[in-house]
Amino acid sequence: MLIYHYRPIESALLEIEKGTFHFASREELNDPIEGYVRVFWQGDKAAWEGLFRNYICSLSQAIDLYLLRGDEEMLHHETLLVSLHRYDNVPLGDILKSLGDGFLADEEIQKLSAFYGNNRTKVFDGELQMILHFIHNKALIRCIHNCKDCRMIPEETADSLLNMFRTKENSFPFELMEAEFLNDEYRSEIIKKAKEVFEDARDFQYVRLGFEDDTFLYGNHRNENGQISKEQTITEARQRRNWMTIAVDFPKVYIEQLKDMIYPANYVVCFSGRDNDSAMWGNYADHHKGVCLIYETDENNNMAIIKKNSTIHLKVKPVHYEGEMTERNFFETFGRLTFKEIESWLTGVDGVSSVLDTFSDEEEWRKRYWEVFDAKTYRKIKAWEHENEYRLSLDNMFSEYNEPVNRNLKYSPEHFKGLIFGMNISEYDKMRIMEKLLTRADELKEFKFYQAEYDDEKQSISTREKLFWRLDNDK
């Protein structure tokens, strides 16, 4: 099967010279809902208690990272405490256990766990964010008390923070929710309005602080003479912003980490099954000034990818543009964890959640787990259907591809079969392309050149093989 890789000139030169594909992260792709799985939370009382225990322990870890001058990236992506057993053999383990036990003993936390657990309510991220916002200050107060007791922050600072957050404590609106609990439409409207209030209040806080010191928003503070202030001021402002992540944004940050946790990150190389799509020439090949590289899979639609001292064979799969949205219950999707860790997540005050039974047939469960992983990797909304996309996918189960440079992997040259010059490519760029290809002439067999042209009769892009153009493989 032939597949096509539309590229601007500089990217094409690099791909040809290095003989590599860059496996892109979700953030590098052009669809903001790429790989979207709609996660919901539905479990019994014990499952919710396990979640709330993890929340306060993760918040504690976030504060520890903040005190150690952790940067914004850390606070957004490394504060989730995936395994509560991580510190079992050190004093911090006892501290976190005490913190979690105390939080779960709180009357409101118990009522919340029973409210959502006993009714087996299906909670989506907007409602979960609302829940966590209502209990956040309560959790913060306990964490600050813990920091004060452990002398991690000065007593005066701790007392000032405690006074501030005590005045901001909110009670969850049980009466309102109970009254409208069975009316899903009205309940959804309440949640939507609450989310809007939280989001707008958060935005206003950030903007207000930005007026006071633009370093908070932009990182470079200028005085009245237009001079950039000292680095110390910038550092302090960044720390101030990082504190806002903990004090205001943490419920949202935590939920995003929960959703990222359930499936390993995966990285893709995107191709098309078409070589004549004008929109793709325009979007991905620099307005027809680039090229389209031609690759061929083996008889099983695999491509050989070279990793250091080994070769892996990845299947090229088509993207599907139809089907229902993929949904997964968070409490049933712990595919990356050990059984002990799963049990920890699902343990409440009175024992283990019945949700744990979901994992009893491990083979069947893992089959369903990876089916959803494939679905989210190879599914896009219908608006992208014209791209006729095919993909190579690489999962990051063992975190070996965290760094972008580690995702530049060589492909076997046998797959590289030719290229198509765009309609507006310059002769100079054709020469540059040919120079790079000639350095690989020995390994590129039966390589062909094509030219994209506009067909007046068909009113579409067509390609023709270029006369006289070839790579000289003869010695």
Token pair in block for residue 286: 């620099």
| Residue written as token pair 């609990």 | 181
Residues found in the chain: 475
Strand, helix or coil for residue 294: strand
**CA geometry: angle 266, 268, 270, nearest 5 deg:** 160
Q: Are 240 and 216 in contact (CB under 8 A)?
A: yes
Confidence of residue 260 (pLDDT cuts 50, 70, 90): confident
* Per-residue confidence (pLDDT) for residue 324, from 0 to 100: 67
Instruction: Name the H helices within 119-230.
Output: 125-149, 155-166, 174-179, 184-212, 215-218
pTM of the model: 0.79
On average, the pLDDT of the chain sits at 86
| Residue written as token pair 């370093």 | 215
Largest CA distance in the chain: 85
pLDDT at 452 over 90: yes
Token pair in block for residue 332: 């049933």
Confidence of residue 207 (pLDDT cuts 50, 70, 90): low
- Which carries the bigger pLDDT value, residue 299 or residue 176? 299
pLDDT at 231 over 60: no
**CA geometry: angle 26, 27, 33, nearest 5 deg:** 65
Distance of CA 406 to the CA centre of its chain: 18
The mean pLDDT value for 395-407 works out to 85
The mean pLDDT value for 84-98 works out to 88
The mean pLDDT value for 417-421 works out to 96
pLDDT at 226 over 90: no
* Per-residue confidence (pLDDT) for residue 99, from 0 to 100: 95
The mean pLDDT value for 407-425 works out to 96
The CA distance from 23 to 5, in Å, is 13
Residues of the chain with pLDDT > 70: what percent?
89
The CA distance from 216 to 17, in Å, is 43
The CA distance from 111 to 129, in Å, is 17
* Per-residue confidence (pLDDT) for residue 475, from 0 to 100: 42
pLDDT at 218 over 50: no
| Residue written as token pair 């031609």 | 294
pLDDT tens for each residue of 331-378: 999 877 888 899 999 999 999 999 999 888 888 888 888 888 888 888
* Per-residue confidence (pLDDT) for residue 318, from 0 to 100: 95
DSSP for residue 337 = S
* Per-residue confidence (pLDDT) for residue 156, from 0 to 100: 86
pLDDT at 288 over 90: yes
The mean pLDDT value for 205-230 works out to 54
Confidence of residue 308 (pLDDT cuts 50, 70, 90): confident
In this structure, of 54-63, 144-153, 161-170, the range with the lowest mean pLDDT score is 161-170
pLDDT at 43 over 90: yes
Relative to beta strand 416-421, strand 448-455 is parallel
pLDDT tens for each residue of 232-242: 455 666 777 78
The CA distance from 392 to 303, in Å, is 8
pLDDT tens for each residue of 156-176: 888 888 887 776 667 777 766
The CA distance from 102 to 96, in Å, is 10
pLDDT at 95 over 50: yes
What string of DSSP letters covers 204-234? Answer: HHHHHHHHH-THHHHS--B-TTS-B--HHHH
Q: Are 220 and 154 in contact (CB under 8 A)?
A: no
* Per-residue confidence (pLDDT) for residue 212, from 0 to 100: 52
In this structure, of 28-42, 334-348, 439-453, the range with the lowest mean pLDDT score is 28-42
The residues facing 379 across adjacent strands are 320
* Per-residue confidence (pLDDT) for residue 381, from 0 to 100: 83
Strand, helix or coil for residue 360: coil
